[in-house]
Structure 1
Amino acid sequence: MTDPYLCDKSVCPARGSWISFRLVDEFGDGKPYAGLSYELTDAEGQKYDGTLDSDGYAKVINNYKGPVTLTLAKPYAGGDAWYDTLADRKDYRIPLTEFQVAAEKTLHRPIGSTAKTAAYRASSEQAEFYNVEVRQFVKHKRHLPAPAKLSKPVPYGWTKLACDFAAGRVPDYGTALLPDKHYVLEVRALRAFRPLISLAPDFSAVNLYNLSLLATLSYGDFGQVPENPNAPKDVDNPKAQEPGGEVKFPAVGTIGHVLQTCLACYQEPMRYADAKTVNYPIVEDVPYSKRLEIIPYDPQHYKSADEQETPSQVHFFNDKRGYSLDSKKTDTQAYATHDDRMILIAVRGTAEKWDALRDGDAEQVPVKDGVGKAHKGFHEAYEVLQPFVVKYLARFRTNNQRVVVCGHSLGGAIALLLAEWIRNKFDDQAILYTFGSPRAGDADFVEGAKPLVHHRIVNNNDPVPSVPAAWMDTKQAVWVTGVAATVTGGVAPIVGGIIFGAGLNRFGGKPYRHHGIQRYFTPLRLPGNQISSVLWTPGCEGYEESAMTQLCYANIKNNDTPERSNFGVQVMNGADHTMLGGYIPACWATLRRWQDTQTSGGKIITPREALNLRTQLRFYRSELEKWQSAQQVEFPGGTIEGRPQDRATALQRRSTMSELQTRQKEISLAVSHNQKELENIETTLKNIDLLEQTTVELSDVYGDRAELPELKTQIQRWADHKENQAIVRVAQVPQGAIANTA
């Protein structure tokens, strides 16, 4: 006779069925799920509560015949500080379950592992075997990753069958199983990737590389689809989403795609913003709840009197201009995210043609909530960003989290003002990494911000770090007294000289100064015509000012300031200034160089490279000395009275005494400045001596993440990507023991 649960529903229900099941991890071990509470609901709505035994097993007998629905939705009871924070925070409390936390503590089975599998265990127990994941057994699932493609999922038709037989007597969530069977259910590990970031104040190569990618990500859109899930449904569009539906992040390179579609789903992102090249971050394998979070969009769970916020409204700031003359908007863009260790804020740099106008608005204004004065254009962007950051920190920061800020170009300048304010108001150990950042504040601001940990990265011929220059903060035309040197160095122009805008009147206050520890990428030629770069701290001004000089001379007309529009175009198109074409490749090569040096026990630069650096610097010094000697021809002894009349130039003969006095004063100041630079060169030569003897420790490469027990596995995963083994890339690194990077 056919069993009643497969017959017409009018047949009287009968008891006498049974079901048993075991929850195991991806290695077939049931211990991670020991003690979990479960609930079974049979076809008549009868509930059976219990807990899994010490090996993840349970059995229910004498239930009504028909499909049963299994749920594991008991709320997390507490005990772990971070999980308690997520479950209890004021905004966007996460509906954690004991089951979720248990799954987060398991690991994914490595591809190619020879250990026994859950399927093997199911076979030994004569059980039905299926792959499952947490979202199938809990009521709230919007905070969980998107459904995975399971190799052997529980048939969906069983859940439909359970609903049909139960007629509303079973939960609207859970997974249905057929009775009179034993099951082994392999639970997919709930893990995520997050970029390896050191929170130690010291510089590390892994931060250099990973933060260069995260700073580049700030140029992308947030990528939320739909942008407004709260909008009324378009009745004319049959595919329109109902209000309150799920949001997704399908566009590659967007912020949401990298953080939520990739990292949160245990995938390594490859592209950032509009990048065409592939760059993998170095990531660590962490519990899902310790990823860089994007808050869930779940209007049913997060009731709000106002319109429900979307992830983009929480994590993304975009003061976008509608048109170029929209003076009410600053075109500032940034994103914020967090995990259990840190709050990360990344600020976008110059991306639109009118951003160059902001870059050039160099009038000085008092720093809001700080000391000294700042570049007006950068300061306005910092001001509009403040409320977004205040709200984000109030919602998500705990006392144990560090704040890490990064930015490129214009974004680096804004990030500096922002990070210093954060250091004063929120986190006195905030960390800042900037790439190609211009000067943002005056001498008073820089002095007040000395305690801020700031690692400032400058790439070879990037012109932006040398602005604002004197000509960007003066009422009068700039007269450039001379070019100190033009150095080719055998690779590319390295030092194009120094602009001596001496004697100019500022109307904004004290001169602009750079903040932080500068680290400079100097290109070096390797054997076989390959070009690499070495990251170091030169200690002399010429390396930083050279590119600015070259651009200025190309743009100066009629003895006046460089044309800012033309300057902006050159900056945005200059390969050394871009992240994708300049900074990221140099950061990658430096990370590989330091990995190689650490594993081989060698020095950070080779003797040949040290000779190359010294040659460049000595040529630069000789050109400075020639320039200084030439000034004695016009004003011997440094005075107008010492100027021989028979040697007067056409310019001198046309000049009034007042004009000659001004010119003599400017040359005198320039000579004094030049003399200081000559002294700094001696210090820089000593720095090369030290660099030639420098070895690298594991902590220099990975910072405080050097202590991770699984560090070698995480690094090997990154190194195994074919893009990190490409000949054109590996050739940028001096050959040593580069086969092993961990």
Structure 2
Amino acid sequence: MDLRETQSLSDQKRSCAALGDSISFRLVDEFGDAKPYAGLKYELFDSEGIKHSGSLDADGFARVDGQYAGPLVLTITEAYQGADDFYTAISTRGSYPIKLTQLQVAAEQTLHRPIGSSAKTGAYRASSEKAEFFNVEVRQFVQHSRHLPPAAKLSKPVPEGWAKLACNLAAGKVPSFGVGLLPGKHYVLEVRALRAYRPLISLAPTFSAINLYNLSLFATLSYGDFGQVPEDPNAPKDPKDPKSQEPGGEIKFPTVGTVGHVLQTCLACCQEPMRYADAKTVNYPVVEDVPYSKRLEIIPYDPDLYQNEDDRKTPSQVHFFNDQRQGMTDWVNTDTQAYATHDDRMILIAIRGTAEKWDAWRDGDAEQVPVEGGVGKAHQGFHEGYVAVKAFLTEYIERFRIGDQRIVVCGHSLGGAIALLVAEWIRRNYDPAVILYTFGSPRAGDAEFVEGAKSLVHHRIVNNNDPVPSVPVPWMDTKKAVWITGITATVTGGVAPVVGGIVFGAGLSRLGGKPYRHQGEQRYFMPLRLPGNQVSSVLWTPGCEGLEESAMTQLCYANVKNNDTPDRSSFGVQVMNGADHTMLGGYIPACWATFRRWQDAQASCGTVLTAREAVNMRAQIKSYSEALEKWQKVQQEEYPGRSIETRPNDRATALQRRSTMSDLQARQKEIDSAIKHNEKELDNVKNTYQNIKDLEAKTLELSDVYGDRSELPKLQDHIDRWFAHVENQALVRVAQIPQATTSSTA
């Protein structure tokens, strides 16, 4: 500290204005450029509390003369005055309006200087101007900062004592915020860029590999807690806990894998999240660098600013829904969990799948009930979850949807079924172009519901031997066991053989109701065993049900006893815990492999399917078709004229001999339905062969991989950032992609 500084800090007497000091300063971005801050209005308070107002010139510079001796405080608080519709909307919205300043918007238009960059910095400019250099942040200049990211660790911060001393000398006439400076000097203040990451998500209705992968991660995130600390910010401070906060203190999200940690601790601070819920493996989303206000927002908790009671809720109360059951005897709460967040383009909703033991009982509660706010009927257990979460989502959408923001919904397992009901309700009431991605979702609605929702954009992902998409199985939605044995679904997938079991189409009609149906465009992960003991995975649309139903057929066959219903409890546990059904062990790896495969195929102008994979797939479909034909022949021999009554008595079962005529007629109806379904499936197989042919010839456009985000001018920078992670180059993962298609995406 030189003599001038020592005198300024130690002189307690009032100085004469005529003998006043001077100061100059310049604001620059992380590359030393001052133009982003040209014209900003500032206020400089001296140690007597006198305010000196002005504006930065075209090169971000200002000089102020005639202050009292002693430290000064610089603030830049002018409210946003621009014409950007989004910035105007968030600063004037009815709920949680943001105290947006011109300085914040200016800092959001600048960029972070990459580590190791050779570009000039603010320090270089300070050296050339013989100025004092410091790193500063927007939050230091403004009064309201709860909506901004946490304070960063700056390499050369302004000493905090200067501003505190100015406040003491001015006896309350100086703001409690601002950057402290000393007189008689010239400063270059490098303002940290105000940027954030957000996941690359396409809002085009067509399927894209980027949505497949990124939404698999954010659907998995729904299994985590919200992670808010403290949960109750108004609770009294615990004197025994040194880490406890004063009431009304700032909220943090320290726990890795929680919703708040991923969205606010990581993405809002330009960090790439690695884990979701209780995941042990690392998965990075593909992210883009955006202005901070255009991130996936977590609303600020600021009771001093927001006086409206509805705006004094904590982030967890606004973004997180958890209708947690209080034990096995609680039949009021549904254990549904979901979160919602938003940016300038969309509202993102993710709904949790089966997580607790009693969820499996709700999965099996397949009585049909009228869809609230829609048409047709739905699975009662899934419908209860939909009704429970609807009020939360209604409030969220009506609070935070701006203009024609797209709404994107995703969910896994039970969460996918609830997400379907939610998305159709949103389509009818808020966004006709809502986009839905589900992973391993069971059937949720009957034929009438599916017909009414036929315009809903739904990309339905099914993984290999995942049995859940075949739920409800026959015994779940009928009061009477309807079990038809035979040989079906012998598709092996080239990995695990599937043996005979029930006829997959029979019995899906609830007695007195319409049959459950799937809605949306199915895409199926088909594993293929190739020469050299190599296993690849192809995502495609088979056009027939056999592959999707084969897992349930195998599971039912293993559990069925005496051609009756399986044991509910053990069967439900097996269904929900199958490896191919989990997100961490099944869907995320398959989504990652498909994303990489499509990246490479697009970059090399190759096809999605290799020739040897096509041969393998045709062999599997041929095997399946032959099994269907064999079953059909057996039924024609067993039931001449499709009637039990014409079946020879010596071939009838003991149960049939004891059955009443009405029982036989009901069973005949089921048999006839199964045979018709089998005939329809044989016709579908013909289209499946054509799908393989089309896939073998298909080349990918950039939009197939990245959707509407393919238009981003710096898309390759975002891809390079993602690919640079060693986890995205690990041999164990790359091995899932045929060698003929692998190449660097960098």
Q: TM-score, normalization: structure 1? A: 0.96
Match of 1:182 among 181, 186, 203: 186
2:15 is the counterpart of 1:9: no
2:616 is the counterpart of 1:612: yes
Match of 2:346 among 342, 345, 350: 342
2:534 is the counterpart of 1:530: yes
Q: What's the CA shift for 1:505?
A: 6.9
Match of 2:714 among 710, 718, 722: 710
Match of 2:559 among 551, 555, 558: 555
RMSD (CA atoms): 2.1
The corresponding residue for 2:737 is: 733
Q: What's the CA shift for 1:653?
A: 9.1
Say whether the 8 Å CA contact 1:481–1:501 is kept in structure 2: no
Match of 1:282 among 282, 286, 301: 286
The corresponding residue for 2:630 is: 626
The corresponding residue for 1:379 is: 383
Say whether the 8 Å CA contact 1:4–1:11 is kept in structure 2: no
The corresponding residue for 1:172 is: 176
SS at match of 1:608: helix
Q: Please identify, of 548-557 and 156-165, the stretch whose mean Cα deviation from structure 2 is larger.
A: 156-165
In 2, the alpha carbon distance for the partners of 1:594 and 1:101 equals 37
Residue identity in the other structure for 2:360: A
2:58 is the counterpart of 1:54: yes
- Structure 1 residues 638 and 304, CA gap change in structure 2 (3 angstroms): closer
Q: What's the CA shift for 1:651?
A: 4.7
2:511 is the counterpart of 1:519: no
In 2, the alpha carbon distance for the partners of 1:423 and 1:495 equals 40
- Structure 1 residues 116 and 737, CA gap change in structure 2 (3 angstroms): farther
The corresponding residue for 1:249 is: 253
Deviation digits for residues 81-102 of structure 1 (CA, Å, limit 9, x no counterpart): 0000011001100001100000
2:450 is the counterpart of 1:446: yes
Q: What's the CA shift for 1:78?
A: 3.2
SS at match of 2:460: strand
The corresponding residue for 1:194 is: 198
SS at match of 1:198: coil
Deviation digits for residues 310-364 of structure 1 (CA, Å, limit 9, x no counterpart): 0000000110011122011000000000000001111000000000111111000
The corresponding residue for 1:301 is: 305
SS at match of 2:180: strand
Residue identity in the other structure for 2:12: K
Say whether the 8 Å CA contact 1:364–1:508 is kept in structure 2: no
Q: What's the CA shift for 1:697?
A: 0.3
SS at match of 1:411: helix
The corresponding residue for 2:440 is: 436
Q: What's the CA shift for 1:48?
A: 0.9
Say whether the 8 Å CA contact 1:496–1:547 is kept in structure 2: no
The corresponding residue for 1:363 is: 367
Q: Please identify, of 247-256 and 561-570, the stretch whose mean Cα deviation from structure 2 is larger.
A: 561-570
In 2, the alpha carbon distance for the partners of 1:501 and 1:123 equals 77
Residue identity in the other structure for 2:651: A
The corresponding residue for 1:291 is: 295
Match of 1:395 among 393, 399, 403: 399
Residue identity in the other structure for 2:304: Q
SS at match of 1:535: strand
The corresponding residue for 1:583 is: 587
Match of 1:473 among 477, 496, 509: 477
The corresponding residue for 1:324 is: 328
Number of aligned positions between the proteins: 741
Q: Please identify, of 585-594 and 462-471, the stretch whose mean Cα deviation from structure 2 is larger.
A: 462-471
Say whether the 8 Å CA contact 2:46–2:70 is kept in structure 1: yes
Say whether the 8 Å CA contact 1:404–1:430 is kept in structure 2: yes
Q: What's the CA shift for 1:470?
A: 2.6
Q: What's the CA shift for 1:236?
A: 5.2
Say whether the 8 Å CA contact 2:487–2:499 is kept in structure 1: no
The corresponding residue for 1:63 is: 67
SS at match of 2:223: coil
Match of 1:648 among 651, 665, 669: 651
SS at match of 1:576: helix
In 2, the alpha carbon distance for the partners of 1:171 and 1:669 equals 79
SS at match of 2:581: coil
- Structure 1 residues 575 and 481, CA gap change in structure 2 (3 angstroms): same
SS at match of 1:629: helix
Identity of aligned residues (%): 71
In 2, the alpha carbon distance for the partners of 1:656 and 1:350 equals 39
The corresponding residue for 1:416 is: 420
- Structure 1 residues 656 and 711, CA gap change in structure 2 (3 angstroms): closer
In 2, the alpha carbon distance for the partners of 1:405 and 1:499 equals 33
Deviation digits for residues 91-114 of structure 1 (CA, Å, limit 9, x no counterpart): 100001100000000011122222
Say whether the 8 Å CA contact 1:461–1:494 is kept in structure 2: no
In 2, the alpha carbon distance for the partners of 1:250 and 1:127 equals 38
2:577 is the counterpart of 1:573: yes
SS at match of 2:617: helix
SS at match of 2:486: coil
Deviation digits for residues 132-191 of structure 1 (CA, Å, limit 9, x no counterpart): 110111100000001111111112222233233333221100010111111111111000
In 2, the alpha carbon distance for the partners of 1:737 and 1:546 equals 29
SS at match of 2:485: coil
In 2, the alpha carbon distance for the partners of 1:76 and 1:414 equals 40
In 1, the alpha carbon distance for the partners of 2:297 and 2:288 equals 15
Say whether the 8 Å CA contact 2:483–2:502 is kept in structure 1: no
In 2, the alpha carbon distance for the partners of 1:724 and 1:327 equals 44
In 2, the alpha carbon distance for the partners of 1:305 and 1:590 equals 47
In 2, the alpha carbon distance for the partners of 1:486 and 1:305 equals 60
- Structure 1 residues 485 and 520, CA gap change in structure 2 (3 angstroms): closer
Match of 1:208 among 212, 223, 247: 212
In 2, the alpha carbon distance for the partners of 1:505 and 1:694 equals 38
In 2, the alpha carbon distance for the partners of 1:557 and 1:103 equals 68
2:686 is the counterpart of 1:679: no
Residue identity in the other structure for 1:228: D
Deviation digits for residues 443-480 of structure 1 (CA, Å, limit 9, x no counterpart): 00000001111111010111110011232111212322
Q: Please identify, of 442-451 and 484-493, the stretch whose mean Cα deviation from structure 2 is larger.
A: 484-493
In 1, the alpha carbon distance for the partners of 2:10 and 2:121 equals 37
- Structure 1 residues 493 and 52, CA gap change in structure 2 (3 angstroms): farther
Q: What's the CA shift for 1:650?
A: 6.4
Q: What's the CA shift for 1:524?
A: 1.6
Say whether the 8 Å CA contact 1:498–1:545 is kept in structure 2: no
Say whether the 8 Å CA contact 1:220–1:255 is kept in structure 2: yes
The corresponding residue for 1:724 is: 728
- Structure 1 residues 495 and 68, CA gap change in structure 2 (3 angstroms): farther
Deviation digits for residues 8-41 of structure 1 (CA, Å, limit 9, x no counterpart): 5246566432111111111110000000011111
Say whether the 8 Å CA contact 2:46–2:72 is kept in structure 1: yes
In 1, the alpha carbon distance for the partners of 2:709 and 2:184 equals 50
In 1, the alpha carbon distance for the partners of 2:365 and 2:653 equals 37
- Structure 1 residues 497 and 618, CA gap change in structure 2 (3 angstroms): farther
SS at match of 2:554: helix
- Structure 1 residues 177 and 500, CA gap change in structure 2 (3 angstroms): closer
The corresponding residue for 2:119 is: 115
The corresponding residue for 1:87 is: 91
Deviation digits for residues 513-559 of structure 1 (CA, Å, limit 9, x no counterpart): 00000000001224543322111000111111111111112222343
Q: Please identify, of 289-298 and 468-477, the stretch whose mean Cα deviation from structure 2 is larger.
A: 468-477
SS at match of 2:201: coil
Q: Please identify, of 435-444 and 556-565, the stretch whose mean Cα deviation from structure 2 is larger.
A: 556-565
Q: What's the CA shift for 1:638?
A: 4.2
Q: What's the CA shift for 1:435?
A: 0.5
Q: Please identify, of 92-101 and 302-311, the stretch whose mean Cα deviation from structure 2 is larger.
A: 302-311
In 1, the alpha carbon distance for the partners of 2:629 and 2:688 equals 16
Q: What's the CA shift for 1:238?
A: 5.1
The corresponding residue for 1:157 is: 161
In 1, the alpha carbon distance for the partners of 2:445 and 2:489 equals 28
SS at match of 2:466: coil
In 1, the alpha carbon distance for the partners of 2:520 and 2:656 equals 46
- Structure 1 residues 22 and 245, CA gap change in structure 2 (3 angstroms): same
Residue identity in the other structure for 1:348: R
In 1, the alpha carbon distance for the partners of 2:71 and 2:485 equals 89
